[in-house]
Amino acid sequence: MTPAADHDLALREALVATARQLDAQGLNRGSTGNLSVRASTNGITNGSADATAEGGAMASFWVTPTGMPASELGAGDLVRMGLDGQVIQGAWAPSTEWPFHRAIYAARADLQAVVHLHSPHATALACLRRGLPAFHYMVAVAGGDSVPCTPYHLFGTQALSKAVAAAFADRNACLMANHGLVAAGTSLAHAAKVAVEIEALCGIYLQALAVGEPILLSGAQMAEVIERFRSYGASRRV
Ligand SMILES: [Zn+2]
């Protein structure tokens, strides 16, 4: 194996493990979901391929290949893409949904990983073209007092990427109409945690809606939660 092929091996193995965990939880059926993680810019042995006009390393990310179930996925199957949308490394075609992964990394330098799922409850809510309002304090896990649902656009399109990037301007998750869930985080574990929590909240919201109209928390009440989550941040890394 060449040094270049070893690049980010631990990170790629962590991505595969996360994909398998989500699969085991029934959230990532077959090959419908896709994950990515921002590639490190150190440890690159053939730096010329990564040089930019500014002299720094070009930002890139590892994404799951298209059509490959998590059960068959290995670290060597991941595709490394630049933020210019070009494949840098990998034998397989990237997930057809790579454009919104790229858009999130381009829009938010703080986000390191993206998880996309067609998980049942989030997708059901997305098919109603409804997001999550402040019906439960944990909605703040996505960074605000709601989780928006973007308008419908065909998967893999720039139009969908733009809508997702707009939603991520001030959130770490969104639903995509008639499609599914996207969550991101400052690490793979954080992105997966946000995705799993939003999926659970969508299930609870749908159950509550089946009985009546949930009572929403006020802006002040949600601001209090968001502030509390921020102060937890330093000592509760995920
Ligand atoms: Zn999808």
Task: Determine the Cα–Cα distance for residues 130 and 150; give it in Å rounded to an integer.
Answer: 9
pLDDT score recorded for residue 42: 58
Does the domain formed by 8-34+95-233 have CATH 3.40.225.10? yes
Provide mean pLDDT across the span 14-38.
Answer: 91
| pTM of this structure | 0.90
pLDDT score recorded for residue 151: 98
Amino acid at position 43, single letter: G
Task: Determine the Cα–Cα distance for residues 47 and 205; give it in Å rounded to an integer.
Answer: 49
pLDDT tens readout for residues 106-154: 999 999 999 999 999 999 999 999 999 999 999 999 999 999 999 999 9
Catalytic residues: 97
Query: 95 CA distance to ligand 1 centroid (A)?
Result: 9
Which ranges in the chain belong to alpha helices (H)?
9-24, 98-107, 120-127, 158-167, 188-211, 219-233
Query: 75 CA distance to ligand 1 centroid (A)?
Result: 21
pLDDT score recorded for residue 43: 46
Best CA proximity match to 94, nearest among 61, 71, 49, 57: 61
Task: Assess whether pLDDT exceeds 70 at residue 1.
Answer: no
Residue extents of the structural domains in the chain: 8-34+95-233
pLDDT tens readout for residues 169-203: 999 999 999 999 999 999 999 999 999 999 999 99
Amino acid at position 49, single letter: A
Query: 38 CA distance to ligand 1 centroid (A)?
Result: 19
